Amino acid sequence: MTALLPGASVVGESRQATLGVLGGGQLGRMFVHAAQALGYRCVVLDPDAISPAGAVAEQHIQADYLDSFGLAQLARDCDAITTEFENVPALALETLAGMRTVAPAAASVAVCQDRAVEKAHFESAGVPCAPHAVITNDIELAAVDPALLPGILKTSRMGYDGKGQVRVSTAVELAAAWNDLKRVPCVLEQLLPLKAELSVLVARGADGQLVNYPVQQNLHRGGILSVTEVPAPAVPTDVQQQAVAAARQVAEALGYVGVLCIEFFWLHDGRLVVNEMAPRPHNSGHWTMNGASASQFELQVRALAGLPLPEPRQHSAAVMLNLLGDLWFSEEGGPTPPAWDRVLALPGTHLHLYGKAEARHGRKMGHLNITAATAEAAHLIALEAALILGLPTDF
């Protein structure tokens, strides 16, 4: 594809080069900021009248993701289009691709939308994943290998941040859980002894250029990412090299264009297995906004616009703390903003709030990046910040 140059007018038209994004959440908001910094105009399509990304974009199209008029307007007003979340209907991306450059492609997003298809892709790409079974009917339920128990039953579609997941220990619990999940297609994954959860972010251009960030170590609480540390503490070099190689392999096998996050389980026996992937920037990559030479959102813009992808360089050790709406509530009530002044008094702290009007329990409101010259220093400052905010300090 011909590069869509920043700050340029589109040939034959009077308007500025414009990038579109399906979805108005915080990832879309940070994409818009990165695109605007490079001189692009941005259009957001989102059904909500008020959204974090829509509030900062030059234009907001309020429409459903499958609304034909909304999609036609987005294609008319934009030169290239992306998505900020994996559950946007793949059909919307297919429709837009008939009119404009779209990245990632609908086929890539469709793989990420179905856990069963996703695991089949991992296996075809030669990347090991957790032992599992697909359950779509009573015959497949009865045929589940007992060795997969205890395990985690996950809905094949629409599950994220721990939603649509149930731990089961016996065949009876498995059957009951599948019924509770309305007997929708599911994947049962064997529960594995985890040493740590890791992720790797890659960015790939339409020309096949592929770059990656260092391995990230993640801590989840209640199924939601809570802490990311880079460099990954105590992860041997060979394990990190294996994770990077596997992530690049997955992206190449998809022919992927854009930013892709691959999540891994590092097991106590030393094995590395892939868990899942997200066809977009990822919470675990938010540290790149302050700790790397180019953020994940800048690389998302570059890949979409056909610009060169520089190999990102980590210039500071970093810790990312996810900030949920729970922080706005105390025993006395709420909502009350946390003590940001005390947090920002700590060296190397960078606060990113998402512009959401209402704090709610479990809602992602922002993140805090801590950067320092060494991993030890970043970790200690992150612990201080966590104490101030009332967050757990078990990292």
Residue list, annotated binding site for ATP: 115, 154, 159-165, 189-192, 197, 220, 275-276
Q: Which amino acid is at 138?
A: D
- Collect contacts of 113-117 with beta carbons under 8 A, ≥24 apart: 113/86, 113/87, 113/157, 113/158, 114/156, 114/157, 114/185, 115/154, 115/155, 115/156, 115/157, 115/159, 115/187, 115/276, 116/156, 116/185, 116/187, 117/156
Is 298 exposed, middle or buried (CB count within 10 Å of its CB: 0-12, 13-18, 19+)? buried
Give Cα 330 distance to the centre of its chain: 29
Cα–Cα nearest to 104, from 326, 255, 319: 255
Sign of torsion, CA 242 319 278 191?
Answer: positive
Cα–Cα nearest to 172, from 154, 149, 193: 149
Annotated binding site: 115, 154, 159-165, 189-192, 197, 220, 275-276
Please state, in angstroms and rounded to a whole number, the distance separating the CA atoms of residues 241 and 232: 12
